[in-house]
Chain A
Amino acid sequence: MPELRRDPVVGRWVIIDSDHTKGPMDFTKEDNTPTRQAICPFCPGREYQTPPEVGAVRPFNTPANTPGWMVRTIPNKFPVLSSDGILQKDGLGIYDQMTGVGAHEVLIECPDHDKGLTDLTKEEMLAVVNQYQERFRKLSMDSRFKYIVIFKNFGASAGATVEHTHSQIIALPMVPKTVLEELKGAQDYHHTHSHCVFCDIIAQEYVDKERIVLENSSFLAFCPYAPRYAFETWIIPKGHNGDFAVEDHTAQDHLAQILQDVLKKIKKALRNPAYNYYLHTSPIGYGKSACYHWHIEIIPKLTRSVGFEWGTGLHIVPTFPKDAAQYLREA
Chain B
Amino acid sequence: MSQLRKDPIVGRWTIIATERARRPAAFVDPQSTISDQKDCPFCHDKTSPILFESHGVKVVNSNTPILNDSKPFECRRHGLYEIAHSYGSHEIVIETPVHTANMADLLPEQIGRVFETYALRMKTHRQNPSIEYILAYKNYGVAAGSRNIGHSRSQIMAVPVSPVRVEDKINGAKAYFDIHERCLFCDIISQELKKKERVVVENEHFMVITPFASRFPFETWIIPKHHQCDFAEGIKGYERPLADMMKDILLRFKIGLNDPAYNYMIQTSPVKGPSAFKDYYHWHIEVIPRLTRVAGFERGTGFYICPIPPEMTAAFLREVDINA
Mark A residues whose CB is within 8 Å of B. 1-6, 8, 10-13, 15-20, 78, 80-82, 85, 93-101, 149, 151-153, 156-160, 168, 170, 172-174, 176-179, 181, 197, 200-201, 204, 207-208, 225-226, 276-280, 297, 299, 304-308, 310-314, 316
Q: Do the beta carbons of B144 and A80 come within 8 Å of each other?
A: no
Other-chain residue from B2, B6, B145 in contact with A306 (beta carbon distance below 8 A): B145
Flag the segment in B34-42, B80-88, B121-129, B227-235 that touches A. Answer: B80-88
Cα–Cα distance between A173 and B14 once the two chains are bound (Å): 12
Stretch in B238-246, B247-255, B261-269 touching the partner:
B261-269
A170 and B212 contact, Cβ closer than 8 Å, known pairs A80-B2, A208-B79, A306-B144: no
A-B contact pairs, 13 of them (CB 8 A): A1-B85, A78-B20, A80-B305, A97-B3, A100-B18, A200-B80, A276-B299, A278-B296, A280-B300, A306-B139, A307-B138, A308-B135, A313-B166
The total of Cβ contacts below 8 Å across the A-B interface reads 223
Q: Are A20 and B191 in contact (CB under 8 A)?
A: no
Asked if residues B184 and A278 are in contact (CB atoms below 8 Å), the reply is no
Interface centre among A8, A19, A93, A157 (most CB of B within 10 A): A93
Residue B206 lies at the interface, judged by CB distance under 8 Å to chain A? no
Which residue from chain B places its CB closest to the CB of A84 in the assembled complex?
Answer: B1
The list of the 6 closest CB pairs from A to B, nearest first, reads: A159-B295, A311-B265, A278-B300, A306-B145, A2-B86, A100-B2
B279 interface hit (Cβ, 8 Å): no
Measured in the bound complex, the distance between the Cα atoms of B65 and A17 in whole Å is 9
B143 within 8 A of A: yes
Residues of chain B within 8 A (CB-CB) of A204 are 79-81
- On chain B, the residues within 8 Å of A15 by CB distance are 66-67, 86
**A306-B144, A308-B155 given as contacts; is B264 within 8 A of A314 (CB)?**
no
- Are B2 and A81 within 8 A (Cβ)? yes
B interface list, Cβ under 8 A from A: 1-6, 8, 10-13, 15-18, 20, 64-68, 71, 78-87, 133, 135, 137-139, 142-146, 155, 157, 159-161, 163-166, 168, 184, 187-188, 191, 212-213, 263-267, 286, 288, 293-297, 299-303, 305
SS of B interface (majority): mixed
Given contacts A3-B83, A151-B297, A276-B300, contact A13 B163 (CB under 8 A): yes
Q: A82-B2, A97-B5 are in contact. Are A307 and B301 (CB under 8 A)?
A: no
List 17 other contacts, CB 8 Å, given A160-B295, A299-B296: A2-B86, A16-B86, A80-B15, A99-B4, A158-B293, A172-B301, A173-B4, A177-B303, A181-B302, A197-B80, A204-B80, A280-B300, A311-B163, A312-B157, A313-B168, A314-B159, A314-B161
- Known contacts A225-B81, A307-B263; A177 and B302 CB within 8 A of each other: yes
Decide: B265 and A99 in contact? CB cutoff 8 A.
no
Contact in complex: A178, B164 (CB < 8 Å):
no
Most B Cβ at <10 Å: residue of A78, A94, A316: A94
Q: Contact between B265 and A310 (Cβ–Cβ < 8 Å)? A: yes
Pick the residue among B2, B5, B16 that contacts A96 (CB under 8 A).
B5
Contact check, A201 vs B80: say whether CB atoms are below 8 A apart: yes
